[in-house]
């Protein structure tokens, strides 16, 4: 017997989006998966099926998918990025997470520490921090 959960999930998801006046759905799944895993392929298929179902109702719906800042198995997330892109209207690259999988000095890190170490200034000027 085929798994019918998708046929329950997608109409339910559409109803939720419609009642909330949303313009689509964002997938942000961050669990680790091994390269070529069935789970990662199923995730990509779910996104594609969601896009197909939503666009059948309204082609203006957007299906977006969040992806890691690097496709190189960051944090164990070896997703099929090409399939995710094909199944989505857009990919959202989570480039704010660039410190994951970095174990030494990272020059792409947050710069707030620089400003927190400054003595309070009466007025801000570039010459006061150079």
Which SS3 state, helix, strand or coil, does residue 86 take? helix
Q: 25: closest CA among 65, 57, 55?
A: 65
Whether 30 is catalytic is: yes
Q: How many CB atoms lie within 10 A of CB 118?
A: 10
Catalytic residue among 13, 30, 48, 55: 30
- Of 34, 22, 54, 40, nearest to 84 by C-alpha is 40
**Which residues are identified as catalytic?**
30
């Amino acid at each position: 017997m085929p798994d019918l959960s998708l046929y329950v999930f997608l109409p339910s998801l559409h109803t939720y989006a419609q009642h909330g006046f949303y313009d689509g759905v964002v997938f942000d799944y961050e669990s680790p998966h091994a390269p070529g895993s069935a789970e990662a392929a199923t995730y990509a298929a779910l996104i594609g099926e969601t896009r197909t179902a939503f666009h059948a109702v309204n082609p203006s719906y957007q299906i977006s998918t969040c992806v890691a800042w690097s496709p190189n198995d960051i944090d164990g997330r070896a997703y099929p990025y090409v399939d995710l892109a094909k199944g989505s209207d857009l990919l959202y690259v989570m480039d704010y997470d660039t410190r994951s999988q970095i174990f030494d000095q990272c020059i792409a890190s947050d710069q707030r520490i620089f400003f927190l170490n400054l003595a309070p200034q009466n007025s801000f000027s570039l010459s006061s921090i150079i």
